[in-house]
Structure 1
Amino acid sequence: MKIIKYKIQYILLGLVMLLNFSCEEFVDINADPNNPTVPQLNLLLPATQLSMVGSFDAINRGASAVVQHRGSGSLNRYDQTGSTFQNTWFGYYTSALPDLNTIITSGTTQQAWGYVAIAKIQKAFLFGMMVDIWGDVPYFEAGSSPNPAFDEGSVIYEELLSLLDEALLDMETGFSVSSSADLFYQGSKVKWQKMANSLKLKLHLQARKTNPTRSAQEIASLVQSGNLIDSNEDDFTFLFGTNTAPNSRHPWYATGYAPGRDGYVSMVVVDRLMAQDDPRLRYYIFRLNERAGLANSTVGEGYYGRYPGDGTSSPADNNTRAIVGVYPSGGVYDNGQIPSLPASNMFLTNEGAVFGTTANSFKVVLFAQGDGTGAGIQPLLTHSMVKFYRAEAALTLGTGEDASMLLKEAVMAQMQEINRVSPAFPLTSDVIEAFTDNLVMQFLNTDPAGQLELVMMQKWIAMYGNGVESYNDYRRTGLPQLEDLLAPLDVFPERFFYSENELNTNEKVVQIREELQRNQQITPVFWKK
């Protein structure tokens, strides 16, 4: 996994350099030296990447609540409004996508094919995600009309596959990208090629129920090419920084470790990892108080969170509720005793654990020089995901690969990724090997339905931090089974609500906005059959 620090200073530095350069050049009285007429691609590209990640947080939180990775938020009770994801819609349609289109258009004129290719890949990634969560969205007229038509998701998917093919051809025409302008891959042609092919594989898998034969053939061909993300070094993952001004830390850290906290951790995550003897619990959840229990009781083990659909008000519990851990938010690893762990556990144990709240109490967090800095990650398309895609394809499309080995490799990759975020408390290679071998044994000793259930449960656990991916998985496969909500406010959301502002101002939909919005809750996206 190539880890890149999220530093807005890079953009500011580039702007300063641009201004200095303009002032040093001969001044043309008919041109504004501070506003160049030719777009500076090396400044636009990192701006699009920051915008992509910055606007992802809201939909990620919403999806994480739906799939029960997080224990609070309106989507935890299946409730959403036209303002829930308005900022994400606005961020993508007024910032990221216009800038990507500018890079594509201007880069083509400048024959800067590397920038053009990367912009096309990022555009395909963004629109693929937007179709997955919103369904039909403006595509063909986006940015060119004040009242763009909403295009069918299935049509957009086909356009995105073509766009990715174009990007791959562009890279063969020429590829020269400044390393400092590319926050993901530092201008690596090879890694962007793997990213493009892996995204194609994802789109084909996502739409596998619409045309299973085509998906099976395309996925098998992509696997045979060998040009996919196949190591953590190739991950399309963003690493946040540690700065507080401007705040470059992981958003879950910035709100979870603030005095006011940010909702509750999911007790579903706690229960499932406990029941499955999964050592990742100590990395996902950090306990502030070793005796805290549900509803602010003092008779628990510190795992004070909430079950899905809990709509009760929050008491004065900011110093007792559990919070996000070292993964993925760059918080703190939990090395405290868990008294209820059975002696039969092999992986989630108390070996090396300490008494007291944790090895890193909250006071240590505030002054720590190691973990607890907020330098977490946002996985977007990773080695682990690609192996999970291939395992699912092997089980559902008969692509001929060994799904048990793909499962093992997927979980190993994600555990190794955890170690990159938590180097002070790594999962040992012996634990990773034994844990994944145990999964293979479980896989081989169950029927085909159970095998798919095991794969999707392990992916759900591994996707903690990317709820959008698990939201797609659940709607596509119905797995893993979600817990019943305590007090739902609506039915399961098949799609996310559109921006209220878009529906109120777009003349093509304003007359049917209420019907359109309600259909978002109850009408599946095109690939769900």
Structure 2
Amino acid sequence: MMMALKYIAYTIALAGVFSVTGCKKFVDINTDPNNPTTAQLSLLLPATEVSMAANMYQLNSGTATFMQYTVFSSGLSRLQQQGTSFNDSWDGFYTQTLNDLESIIRTGTAQEQWGYVAIAKLEKAYLVSLMVDMWGDIPYSQSQKGQETVSPPFEKGADIYEDLLKMIDEAAVDAGKISATTLVPATSDLLYSGLKSSWLMMANSLKLKLYNQIRLVNPARSTAAIQALIADPATLIGGTANSNALDFTFRFGPGQNPNNRHPWHRSEYQGSKTFYMSQSLIDLLFNSDDPRLRYYIIRQNATAGLNNSANSNGYYGRNPGDGTAAPADLNRRSTFGIYPAGGLYDNAPVNNIPATNQFLTNTNATGTLKVVGPTDGTGAGIMPMITNAMVKFIRAEAALTLNTGDDARQAFKDGITAHLNAVSTYAAANGGIALSATTIADFAAGQLVKYDAANNAGKLELVMTQKYIAQYGNGMEAYNDYRRTGLPALRTPLSPLNTFPLRLYYSETELTANTSLGDDASRLQVAQQTTPVFWDK
């Protein structure tokens, strides 16, 4: 399925650009095919954005399993990795996304197409930093040299981070060479329609994320850098208005032929199923009176429960680390809801909701449940990469741990509010029901009561727990946060086969083909499970 999604994604991106630009400039006999043109850059850039999101499927689903959002495979749920666990993402990033980004940077620089160069550098900085976060040491500076270096050496993650921080600044300088408000034509940029101001906000927010990520390595450096970034909040995603409009988010489409829907929708809204929902997340949201449960998870059956019982409330998932075989339950297990996969909103009555609940209730719950199929929901889901809510939670964490001078309480409130608004707005536009402004305000106020009553450690736990809930749909960032903070508390797996992984296994294709590793490949792979990345102190 993953390879099909990759090629479909490329087809959609390229077809969209061809339909806008027309064919004339691609068959002009006066165009030298050995001299890349701006038109070719306009095709490559959206292709990199599509391939980046498509290649995240395996990576996102696997880390979401570690972080108990969902269960992608029994092995990963039991913390057992293999050389094939993340090879699709690894191979796709290197052979598709990074290869094309390097082409844009090289060609764009030669042609002085600085808008393309700036965006490509920012996308590369984001993606490579994420790869360091996931795998630690990776091929980097020699990895896109084709036949010149077929076995690029692995480089230290800390050194790569330093280069990426410089790259972000270089990208801002490149963007400054463009006097217009757009860096590239809107049709060439699926993320921000080419808007320079949006990409500069993304650049600053990425730096904020990276400096917070490395705060345990050099607290003084991170403190100074974060203080400089928050000195002008208008330059960060969300700005001063706490707006979600400029979230760094990939948006999938609603099409079925070809299919460009969210990969979780493609996988689960059919007769077969790959995933279980994690009972840990279900219970966290249910027991916390969190209204997002109806948006995150859709029940197919009103009474199905854990272990395929028939006397529960329909929230039928699987406990982390459950190694038992899957029963005949495809039409009973819960699955992805309207957010972020573009599925269905659960508006049916729920058994056993406490009478004291204020937000997760059966008020106006008049819907009915059904076994989901390909025509249910839009499938036009999202991949949240850096969001306004995330920025606010990062600011709260940094204020509590680095004493940046920021208002941690306000940032905590703004993060909760931002995410509830994001879920509500998305749902209302995709066949669901919006949360009322009163519900959003009251839910945030309730969390502030807990925050005010907590000590500093308790405040950080509340911040990271709410950030964890808000990052549903992006297991990679939750995985980063957990290794850095140990929060939120995860459920103990039932029958683990290994310790919690501190890094991901490398692609077995890489370990087999890369001769620079010598005889160390097997040892290197085994060490990934227990070796922390450089920022995990």
Which letter does structure 1 place at the counterpart of 2:401? T
Give the structure 1 partner of residue 398 of structure 2.
Answer: 393
Give the structure 2 partner of residue 403 of structure 1.
Answer: 408
Give the structure 1 partner of residue 5 of structure 2.
Answer: none
The reply to whether residue 215 of structure 1 matches residue 215 of structure 2 is: no
| Partners of 2:316 and 2:333 within 8 A in 1 | yes
| Partners of 2:48 and 2:101 within 8 A in 1 | yes
- Unaligned 5+ runs, structure 1: 1-5
Which letter does structure 1 place at the counterpart of 2:491? E
Give the structure 2 partner of residue 52 of structure 1.
Answer: 52
Following superposition, which runs of at least 4 residues in structure 1 exceed 6 angstroms of deviation? Answer: none
TM-score (normalizing by structure 2) = 0.92
- Change in CA separation of 1:389 and 1:66 when aligned onto 2, cut-off 3 Å: same
- How is 1:230-309 mapped onto 2 (pairs within 5 angstroms)? 230=238, 231-309=243-321
- How is 1:25-64 mapped onto 2 (pairs within 5 angstroms)? 25-26=28-29, 37-38=36-37, 40-64=40-64
Cα separation, 1, equivalents of 2:424 and 2:535: 35
1:396-422 CA distance string (max 9 Å, x none): 000111211111111111111112321
The reply to whether residue 107 of structure 1 matches residue 115 of structure 2 is: no
Aligned partner of residue 362 in structure 1, secondary structure: coil
Match of 2:151 among 128, 132, 147: 147
Aligned partner of residue 71 in structure 2, secondary structure: coil
Give the structure 2 partner of residue 3 of structure 1.
Answer: none
Aligned partner of residue 532 in structure 2, secondary structure: coil
Which letter does structure 1 place at the counterpart of 2:487? L
Shift of 1:489: 1.2
Match of 1:475 among 480, 483, 498: 483
Aligned partner of residue 511 in structure 1, secondary structure: coil
Which letter does structure 2 place at the counterpart of 1:324? F
Give the structure 1 partner of residue 3 of structure 2.
Answer: none
- How is 1:298-337 mapped onto 2 (pairs within 5 angstroms)? 298-337=310-349
Cα separation, 2, equivalents of 1:132 and 1:22: 40
- Unaligned 5+ runs, structure 2: 1-8
Aligned partner of residue 380 in structure 1, secondary structure: strand
The reply to whether residue 465 of structure 1 matches residue 473 of structure 2 is: yes
Shift of 1:92: 0.8
| Partners of 1:308 and 1:485 within 8 A in 2 | yes
Cα separation, 2, equivalents of 1:518 and 1:7: 34
- Change in CA separation of 1:528 and 1:9 when aligned onto 2, cut-off 3 Å: closer
User: Which deviates more from structure 2 when the two are superposed, residues 326-335 or residues 70-79?
Assistant: 70-79
| Partners of 1:153 and 1:526 within 8 A in 2 | yes
Aligned partner of residue 241 in structure 1, secondary structure: coil
TM-score (normalizing by structure 1) = 0.94
Aligned partner of residue 95 in structure 2, secondary structure: helix
1:25-72 CA distance string (max 9 Å, x none): 3468xx66xx76446111110000001100011100010000100034
Shift of 1:491: 1.1
Aligned partner of residue 339 in structure 1, secondary structure: coil
1:329-365 CA distance string (max 9 Å, x none): 11111112122111111111111113xxx435336x6
Cα separation, 2, equivalents of 1:513 and 1:409: 46
Cα separation, 2, equivalents of 1:27 and 1:229: 43
Give the structure 1 partner of residue 191 of structure 2.
Answer: 184
The reply to whether residue 377 of structure 1 matches residue 385 of structure 2 is: no
Cα separation, 2, equivalents of 1:332 and 1:13: 27
| Partners of 1:405 and 1:440 within 8 A in 2 | no
- Change in CA separation of 1:13 and 1:241 when aligned onto 2, cut-off 3 Å: closer
Match of 1:361 among 361, 370, 379: 370
| Partners of 2:202 and 2:248 within 8 A in 1 | yes
Cα separation, 1, equivalents of 2:529 and 2:95: 25
Cα separation, 1, equivalents of 2:122 and 2:26: 31
Give the structure 1 partner of residue 361 of structure 2.
Answer: 349
Aligned partner of residue 138 in structure 2, secondary structure: coil
The reply to whether residue 224 of structure 1 matches residue 231 of structure 2 is: yes
Give the structure 1 partner of residue 420 of structure 2.
Answer: 415
Cα separation, 2, equivalents of 1:475 and 1:58: 20
Q: Percent identity?
A: 45
Shift of 1:271: 0.6
Q: CA RMSD in A?
A: 1.7
1:443-475 CA distance string (max 9 Å, x none): 011100000000111111111110001000000
Match of 2:171 among 156, 167, 177: 167
| Partners of 1:503 and 1:510 within 8 A in 2 | no
- Change in CA separation of 1:301 and 1:350 when aligned onto 2, cut-off 3 Å: same
